[in-house]
Amino acid sequence: MRYKGSVYRPPSEARSYLVQVTYGCTHNKCKFCSMYRDKPFKIREMSEIVEDLHMARSYFSRVDRVFLCDGDALILSNDRLKEIIGHVYKILPEVQRISMYGSPKDVLLKSHEELVELREHGVEFIYIGAESGSDKVLANIEKGATRAEIIEAVKKIEASGIKASVTFISGLGGKDNWREHAIETGTMISEMGASYVGVLTLLLEETAPLYQDVLDGTFKLLSAEEVVHETLLMMENINVSEDSPCVFRSNHASNYVSLRGDLPKDKEKFLKQLKTASENLHLLKDERFRAL
């Protein structure tokens, strides 16, 4: 397969065929993110996309899932996305599911009808990075979207029949804003109605601008123990209704404690796990084994 630069995908797309339909990310400013610093945003030539799909056909006898890369493929117009999806089904007719990353702004630029159209063309998941429910933290990290905009985007995805998979990052408030980050993230998860919620833990690469803030002391990282306290406070503030349950995952390689289940059903179990971890720090994942 041919890929330009590093390619990223959500953990749940591990078995998907990854095809770059754009390069980079239109925003490319989030201070904790180093994914596309060396890759300016560009829309990829359709002829190359089609060639990659033919390559997939020649390598694999069966492809069930296709993930459209890079950072925010949803920025493409519906006409272009439908053309790409048309090629996917023509060349790989057995495909069952198509997914992509989308920024909150990308979603809000689409009408309800356009999102429904994508659903009807086989788009099943849009992965969206919310990072925090706190407007202060969102501004600090230069997310380029407010809490209200992110909630609106998630509700809009779900209303179209596409499933929203929304990611938050423990530790992103640092020592100065951890309490607000935890509470506001918990209440946002309760409010937004996403089908899937994932919580990672902050782990910075040296090329991320926030890494420099750590070095000069303007951003103070939480310790492992503080991250667990923060996650506990976040969980205490999650009140997802029985009518709108969500799959909750915090079992990424970056997490100190692995949580996996459904909300609201497993809230008490998660609280117990987090309290146990906070009282038995030897249970936390060793720093050496954390990864992005």
Amino acid at 181: H
Cα gap 15→244, rounded to integer Å: 28
Nearer to ligand SF4, 74 or 284 (CB): 74
Nearer to ligand SF4, 130 or 263 (CB): 130
**Residue 34 CB, nearest approach to ligand SF4 (Å):** 8
Nearer to ligand SF4, 95 or 171 (CB): 171
**Residue 4 CB, nearest approach to ligand SF4 (Å):** 15
Nearer to ligand SF4, 10 or 129 (CB): 129
Nearer to ligand SF4, 125 or 270 (CB): 125
**Residue 33 CB, nearest approach to ligand SF4 (Å):** 3
Instruction: Give the binding site for ligand SF4 (CB under 6 A).
Output: 25, 27-30, 33, 35-36, 71, 103, 129
Nearer to ligand SF4, 34 or 231 (CB): 34
55: nearest Cα among 65, 45, 63: 63
Total number of residues shown for the chain: 292
**Residue 64 CB, nearest approach to ligand SF4 (Å):** 25
Cα gap 247→43, rounded to integer Å: 33
Nearer to ligand SF4, 98 or 138 (CB): 138
**Residue 286 CB, nearest approach to ligand SF4 (Å):** 26
Distances from the Cα of 24 to the Cαs of 2, 105, 131, in angstroms?
Answer: 15, 16, 19
**Residue 71 CB, nearest approach to ligand SF4 (Å):** 4
Nearer to ligand SF4, 143 or 163 (CB): 143
**Residue 143 CB, nearest approach to ligand SF4 (Å):** 7
Q: For residue 50, what are its two tokens? A: 């089609």
**Residue 236 CB, nearest approach to ligand SF4 (Å):** 27
